[in-house]
């Protein structure tokens, strides 16, 4: 494992993409609710999670297509979103401790150890675009970017709607202000101007 991207650097890389990431997640839960509303059947949590994941994969693939500095890799019925050739993100449901549960496989262990080789890029930092929903799956309780090594969280960055950072670019304008001369109108002594 190489050196992990720091929280500060990750925030700097992801800041310009948070609105898109939030949009993907929000549209996915809305689409899930359309599907759930159209069904007369009760679906299990795992079916809801899998359906949400599939929706998020398709929406992320479309949302980031052609975005400079972002590469979407579709593999293993999932996607990995590579940001600036440094961060690799997966959409994952997280628990109360902000950890995703993963089946223990060689691949998932390499992701949690940050040793999976992808696109011949060295020293990638793997992150989860983590979400947790309410019981009804109608809204998010938490949305966080989580960086972990095994079950040890290194850092987390929230990206709920209220946490999104909007930055306006403004240029400083320097004004050269010179003192003004006061003009005084003199009146003639006879009262006529």
Could you give the 3-state DSSP secondary structure of residue 175? coil
Q: Tell me, yes or no, whether 170 lies in a domain.
A: no
Going by their DSSP bridges, the two strands 87-93 and 125-133 should be labelled as parallel
End-to-end CA distance of the chain: 89
Residue 16 domain-assigned (yes or no): yes
Q: pLDDT (tens digit, 9 = 90+) per residue, 65-109?
A: 999 999 998 877 778 899 999 999 999 999 999 988 776 777 776
pLDDT for position 162: 60
**Total domain count for the chain?**
1
- What is the predicted pLDDT for the residue at 192? 58
CA distance 123 to 164: 28
Sheet holding 78-83, edge to edge: 70-75, 78-83, 87-93, 125-133, 140-149, 152-158
Domain presence at residue 43: yes
191 found inside a domain: no
Q: What are phi and psi of 186, to 5 degrees?
A: -95, 140
pLDDT digits (tens, 9 = 90+) for 2-53: 689 999 999 999 999 999 999 999 999 999 999 998 988 888 988 999 999 9
Domain assignment present for residue 174? The answer is no
Residue 54 in 3-state DSSP? helix
| Domain that includes residue 138, residue range | 7-163
Q: Is residue 168 a part of any domain in this protein?
A: no
pLDDT given at position 114: 72
pLDDT digits (tens, 9 = 90+) for 127-184: 999 999 999 899 999 999 999 988 899 999 998 766 554 433 334 444 455 565 666 6
Establish if 17 belongs to a structural domain: yes
Question: Does the residue 115 lie in any domain?
Answer: yes
């Amino acid at each position: 494992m190489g050196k992990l991207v720091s929280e500060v650097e990750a925030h700097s890389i992801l800041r310009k993409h948070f609105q898109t990431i939030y949009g993907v997640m929000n549209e996915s839960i809305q689409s899930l609710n359309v599907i759930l509303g159209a069904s007369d059947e009760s679906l299990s949590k795992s079916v809801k999670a899998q359906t949400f994941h599939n929706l998020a994969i398709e929406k992320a693939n479309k949302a980031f297509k052609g975005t400079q500095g972002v590469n979407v890799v579709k593999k293993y019925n999932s996607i990995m979103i590579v940001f600036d050739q440094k961060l690799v993100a997966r959409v994952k449901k997280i628990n109360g401790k902000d950890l995703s549960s993963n089946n223990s496989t060689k691949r998932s262990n390499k992701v949690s150890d940050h040793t999976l080789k992808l696109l011949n890029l060295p020293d990638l930092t793997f992150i989860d675009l983590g979400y947790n929903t309410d019981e009804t799956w109608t809204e998010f309780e938490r949305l966080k970017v989580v960086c972990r090594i095994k079950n040890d969280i290194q850092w987390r960055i929230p990206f709920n709607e209220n946490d999104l950072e909007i930055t306006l670019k403004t240029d400083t304008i320097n004004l050269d202000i010179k003192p003004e001369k006061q003009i005084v109108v003199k009146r003639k002594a006879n009262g006529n101007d």
